[in-house]
Amino acid sequence: MSISMYNMTQKQYSDLYTKLYNKANKIICTDKPCQTCLEPDKSGYCCFRCAHLSSTGCTVKALYCKVWLCTSARLAFPKTACKLDGIMRRANKYLLLKIRASKKETLSQVYRIMALTKK
């Protein structure tokens, strides 16, 4: 049973973001679609220009980046893509998808939107 996004508290949003991120991260870590990409760019990852990428990987919990797969990875890992698409649909329903954004950046935007809708 899902709660209406208009009745959620900031803590509930934060908890949902973390839950979805962890679920997607587990799928990515298990299936490893990014490590076997058929057409990696010069750095090996599609996110090579992201401000949150360091030499050891992503420095933030970016949900959108965990649920998005490039075309090559989608074709090579259709079951993984299907699982991530389910998470993406749920995250999108609650406005939790912001491209290359940290959890803090994403939730800040959600909270602003929610404040406007309550006026």
The pTM of the full predicted model, rounded to 2 decimals, is 0.83
Domain that holds residue 49: 10-117
Round to whole Å and give the CA distance between 119 and 110.
Answer: 15
Please give the structure tokens belonging to residue 90: 């749920």
Establish if 14 belongs to a structural domain: yes
Task: Provide the number of structural domains found in the chain.
Answer: 1
Closest CA to 95 of 85, 84, 109: 109
Round to whole Å and give the CA distance between 13 and 5.
Answer: 8
What are 49-62's pLDDT values in tens digits? 778 777 777 788 99
Is 42 in contact with 48 (CB distance < 8 Å)?
yes
Establish if 2 belongs to a structural domain: no
Q: What pLDDT is stored for residue 44 in this prediction?
A: 60
Establish if 1 belongs to a structural domain: no
Top mean pLDDT of 58-62, 68-72, 84-88 is at 84-88
Establish if 76 belongs to a structural domain: yes
Establish if 108 belongs to a structural domain: yes
Establish if 66 belongs to a structural domain: yes
Q: What pLDDT is stored for residue 22 in this prediction?
A: 97
Q: What are phi and psi of 57, to 5 degrees?
A: 120, -165
Establish if 5 belongs to a structural domain: no
What is the chain's length? 119
Establish if 3 belongs to a structural domain: no
Q: What pLDDT is stored for residue 38 in this prediction?
A: 45
